[in-house]
Chains A and B, each alone.
Chain A
Amino acid sequence: MMEFIVGTFNYWIYVALILIGFYGMMAKNNLMKKLIGMNIFQWSIILFYISIGSKQGGTVPVVDPSLHPAIRAVDYINPLPHVLMLTAIVVGVATTGIALALLILIYRTYGTLEEDEILEVLKK
């Protein structure tokens, strides 16, 4: 059991992070904290993807035929998830950018970022 947990610790961290992020997005009252939760949520998925690409004892996937005449896939980590996550990082940065812009607009209108206070103003 212990071996299972230690051997797959990166996945456990991913599960913990995604739950922390989800809690932040859903339960926090402050919109900025919601945004931070959202970021943790997104980054945990990046950790997940990077984990599925890596291999024990694998090296950088740069193939030099003169050095390694026979290419064994086991020796190289899978580059595709890394490439996908570069795109996902860009997506995450764009999300954060738009969210911050919206938060500035909200703050200018209501003078606060607490969700319950904004809802109280909206009810009037």
Chain B
Amino acid sequence: MSVHFPVLIVVVPLLLSFLVFAFGLFQRRVCFPLVVATLASCLVFSAGSFRTVLTTGRPVHYHLGGWAPPWGIEYVVDYLNGLVLTAIAVVSLLAAIYARALVKREIPAAKHAPFYALFLLQVTGLFGMTVTGDMFNLYVLLEIASFSAYAMIGMGEGAAPFAAFRYMIFGTLGACAYLLGVGYLYISTGSLNMADLRQILVPLYSSRVLLVGLAFLLLGIAIKMAFFPVHIWLPDSYTLAPSCVSVLLAPLFTKVGAYVMIRVLFSVFDPARSITLLPVTALIGWVAAAGILFSSIMALAQTDLKRMLCYLIVTEIGYIGIGIGAGNRPGLTGAIFHVVNDMFMMALLFMVVGAIQAHVRTRNISGLTGLHRGMPVTAAALVVGGLSVIGVPPLCGFFSKWYLILGTIEAGQWLCAGALLLGSLLNAILFFRIFEKCYFEAPHDPAHREREAGAKADRMAMGELIPMVFMAVVVLLLGLFSGYIVQHAITHAIPPGV
């Protein structure tokens, strides 16, 4: 049974997304338990295959339909994507549990079944992008994830369909660029399997076709992961998406894109070539540094809490880009660890925003005065998430940033190190401004008191509180056990040759 875990991670949510839709037509109440059961089994599958990797020390290979690679499609779980898969499984399960109350509030009852079907389809795409060892299969699963994202964002209020359409134009541009890149690699190698490509590519590095292919691949991935300066689709679409959608999309999609970038640059292409022969990684590092400063300043300028977090996602992607840019062991350790950490931090923060929007009925930062009186747990979770994004020990954000800084210093990229520190400083200003509003803002005179966030908040459901608290605990635990995780998983996850 455990032999089939790598493929079950993708097949089970894919089939269940259709079943949820079919069952939901007759009995709406059955959707949510089915989704939770599916995601829980996905957690078992991904954690199970990751455990096999950890105990045997070798990657798990699965050949679809019994066709051996390079002819057949291969699913591979190794240290790198085992970690990412498990993180996706945990975040999506908690997001699904959390989303239940919000779905009831935000989505019309008739649309519950399609919503949950799309939710599972989104998770299918994300799992598939991570687990696949085939370049074209990755494109298909990338598009599955993107479609469900467009559709779910389009369910939002107001201008959401318009934002979703704009996202779609950009997203299709990215997917097509990726497809073209795969095409150019296929012309010069005749293979689509990642491990096979790496072997065949070695004597071909002087070929110009390969350079064009790499450029298209990176452009496509950069658009999908919202890398500065092609992030412009992100703030609008994620802000206007319903909270129950953004809590799944915002933490996961961009980070899986970052994982794909690491995979392509360091597993498909030879790391030594990506770093020295073509200074691709260095270029990514510089652009990421510029992106961090730009998006941090943009985040400071926002008055809408959710929109501010959307710019923070771009900042965090910039941090991962700096780790890729450093191109050495500590830098990549930081980048991989930050991919995982950021999933949890962003999931926590988007849960907080969802709760605030649902119960205080505002997303404006100035409307958060006295939040800790009405919603003490949410306010505390906001503090945990905020401190982790800033990088305060012992929360997980500190440790990945620590490795990132070590990496930039070792690579001698002082400008990147400076951008990282300055970005963290800007994040600190950002969050302490919000903390001040929540905790220390002088109470208004009694006449205005009932307009405060603390006075207005109604009771939160346990289904919202428990995932949020759990997520905050995970953010803390990831920090406390960072040494263990880095030593046992991430050091082995760094592709050989770095």
Contacts and interface: CB of A to CB of B under 8 A. Distances in A.
* A and B co-occur in one complex: yes
Contact of A91 (B143, B150, B164, B187): B143
A106 B161 contact: yes
Given A45-B179, A52-B183, A118 B162 contact: yes
Contact of A105 (B147, B161, B173): B161
Contacts of A103: 165
Contact of B150 (A25, A31, A42, A102): A102
B117 to A, nearest CB: 14
Contacts of B474: none
Interface residues of B, number: 25
Interface string B180-192: 1001001100000
B131 to A, nearest CB: 18
A74 interface: no
B173 A45 contact: no
A94 B139 CA distance: 14
Q: Does more than half of chain B's interface fall in helix, strand or loop, or is it mixed?
A: helix
Contact of B168 (A52, A81, A91, A99): A99
A10 to B, nearest CB: 14
Interface string B11-55: 000000000000000000000000000000000000000000000
Interface string B156-178: 00110110110011001101100
Bin chain A's interface residue count.
Answer: 20 to 34
Contacts of A101: 151, 154
A46 to B, nearest CB: 9
Interface string B358-370: 0000000000000
Given A49-B183, A102-B154, A42 B161 contact: no
A71 B213 CA distance: 31
A45 B183 contact: yes
Interface string A98-113: 1101110110011000
B147 A34 contact: no
B108 to A, nearest CB: 13
A110 B136 CA distance: 38
A99 B165 contact: yes
Given A22-B173, A52-B187, A102-B161, 10 more contacts: A25-B173, A41-B176, A42-B176, A45-B179, A81-B186, A88-B139, A98-B168, A99-B165, A99-B168, A101-B154
6 contacts: A48-B183, A87-B140, A91-B175, A95-B168, A98-B150, A109-B161
